[in-house]
């Protein structure tokens, strides 16, 4: 029996298999996957709950998965959404993904495995999504991924710019590497200007292949930071994403304040020195584009500095006091040691 839709390049049965795969690999709260909309009951115990949403993708980092290393890119997508929600002082509740490709096959399962892992790290439920087979828009091996997440906070616990005060201490939390920003520049430096390959081994990176380092997934900060939010120990959070320090740090405080940051106060992953060396980039350029080893910067009362550092440094996460909030004189971000 002929199938006109399949003959046109779209196999709806493959989409049904993906839904079944997600249901088999997620919690009971994914039971509504396959319905027309994802459902989520607002948790009890909130007096004035506010829902905070974020959507994002992973940019051109996904082009580095052409070697078949697809298992971590879904983590990146979750991270880019939930970290933004966390920066507002909210707890991520649920996540939905959107994957479009020229052909739905096993690569989608690998991508979704990363999404499922990312949701687990974030303590968020995967309640739905969409996988679209779009021949002629994408080649069979090409794809794109985007995500949407919702979190919740008490209205009076939302991190607002006016919460950050002159004299607050800035605490930086380690990143896992480049995260998911600046990859158009990264690809130009390594694969166009220097003609490296994904399996190239650079002496500065030891035994790791270049592709393995570049595909290190974005760190998800939810489990590190939520205890601090619960104890009201944080005045503001900057998620250091695209635009680096100069664009993101000022987003957490008012225009009359500035951040003084000493860039010698924390250790950076070797990948940043490698990028700067092979890209022939100035120090200032690096801080305009990349997270430079700090995925999040928190503003806290000096009285709570030791407590916050103690909580953050209990596990594998590393955190350092990196600066302070001062009255603004010129620029909103002043980097010492650049």
pLDDT confidence of residue 2: 60
Domain co-membership, 171 together with 73: no
Lowest mean pLDDT among 20-24, 28-32, 78-82, 209-213: 28-32
Domain co-membership, 148 together with 195: no
pLDDT confidence of residue 338: 83
Domain holding 71, by residue range, is 4-34+43-157
pLDDT confidence of residue 36: 80
The pLDDT tens digits of the residues spanning 265-314 come to 999 999 999 999 999 999 999 999 999 999 999 999 999 999 999 999 99
Q: Please, what is the end-to-end C-alpha distance for the chain in angstroms?
A: 68
Of residues 28 and 136, the one with the higher pLDDT is 136
Rounded-to-integer distance, Cα 183 and Cα 63, Å:
9
When divided into structural domains, the chain yields a total of 2
Q: Sorting pLDDT into bands at 50, 70 and 90, what band is 315?
A: confident
Give the distance between the most distant pair of CA atoms in the chain: 75
Domain co-membership, 153 together with 168: no
pLDDT confidence of residue 324: 98
pLDDT confidence of residue 29: 55
Rounded-to-integer distance, Cα 117 and Cα 26, Å:
10
Domain co-membership, 145 together with 165: no
What number is the average pLDDT over the span 4-9?
Answer: 54
The pLDDT tens digits of the residues spanning 217-238 come to 999 999 999 999 999 999 999 9
The pLDDT tens digits of the residues spanning 24-48 come to 666 655 556 677 888 899 999 999 9
pLDDT confidence of residue 27: 63
Domain co-membership, 134 together with 215: no
**CATH number, position 188:** 3.90.650.10
Domain co-membership, 152 together with 165: no
Nearest to 95 by CA among 58, 64, 135, 55: 55
Domain co-membership, 193 together with 136: no
Query: DSSP 3-state assignment of 46?
Result: coil
Last residue of a domain, one of 124, 157, 190: 157
Q: Tokens in use for 77?
A: 């997508």
Which residue carries 């635009």 as its tokens?
Answer: 243
Rounded-to-integer distance, Cα 318 and Cα 23, Å:
35
Last residue of a domain, one of 100, 129, 157: 157
Last residue of a domain, one of 123, 157, 191: 157
Rounded-to-integer distance, Cα 330 and Cα 326, Å:
11
Nearest to 299 by CA among 228, 242, 246, 212: 228
Number of Cβ within a 10 Å radius of residue 27: 13
Domain co-membership, 20 together with 143: yes
Domain co-membership, 17 together with 139: yes
pLDDT averaged over every residue in the chain:
92
Domain co-membership, 13 together with 116: yes
Domain co-membership, 213 together with 301: yes
pLDDT confidence of residue 16: 55
pLDDT confidence of residue 253: 98
Domain co-membership, 196 together with 111: no
Q: Sorting pLDDT into bands at 50, 70 and 90, what band is 67?
A: confident
**CATH number, position 127:** 3.30.1330.10
């Amino acid at each position: 029996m002929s199938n006109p839709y399949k003959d046109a390049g779209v196999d709806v049965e493959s989409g049904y298999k993906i839904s079944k795969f997600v249901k088999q690999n997620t919690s009971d709260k994914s039971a509504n996957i396959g319905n027309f909309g994802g459902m989520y009951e607002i948790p009890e115990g909130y007096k004035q709950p506010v829902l905070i949403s974020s959507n994002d993708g992973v940019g051109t980092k996904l082009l580095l998965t052409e070697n078949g290393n697809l298992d971590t890119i879904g983590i990146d997508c979750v991270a880019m959404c939930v970290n933004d929600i966390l920066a507002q002082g909210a707890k991520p509740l649920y996540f939905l993904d959107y994957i479009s490709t020229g052909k739905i096959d096993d690569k989608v399962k690998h991508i979704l495995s990363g999404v499922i892992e990312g949701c687990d790290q974030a303590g968020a439920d995967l309640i739905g999504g969409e996988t679209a087979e779009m021949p002629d828009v994408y080649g069979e091996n090409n794809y794109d991924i985007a995500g949407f997440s919702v979190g919740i906070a008490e209205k009076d616990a939302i991190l607002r710019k006016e919460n950050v005060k002159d004299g607050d201490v800035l605490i930086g939390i380690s990143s896992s590497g480049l995260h998911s920003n600046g990859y158009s520049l990264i690809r130009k430096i390594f694969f166009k200007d220097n003609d490296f390959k994904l399996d190239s081994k650079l002496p500065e990176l030891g035994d790791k292949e270049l592709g393995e380092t570049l595909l290190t997934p974005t760190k998800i900060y939810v489990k590190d930071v939520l205890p601090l939010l619960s104890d009201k120990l944080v005045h503001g959070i900057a998620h250091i994403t695209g635009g680096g320090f100069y664009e993101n740090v000022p987003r957490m405080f008012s225009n009359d304040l500035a951040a003084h940051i000493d860039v010698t106060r924390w250790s950076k992953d070797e990948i940043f020195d490698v990028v700067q060396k092979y890209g022939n980039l100035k120090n200032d350029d690096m801080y305009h584009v990349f997270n430079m080893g700090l995925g999040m910067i928190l503003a806290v009362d000096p009285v709570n500095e030791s407590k916050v550092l103690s909580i953050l440094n209990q596990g594998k996460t590393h955190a350092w006091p990196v600066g302070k909030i001062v009255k603004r004189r010129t620029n909103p971000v002043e980097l010492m040691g650049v």
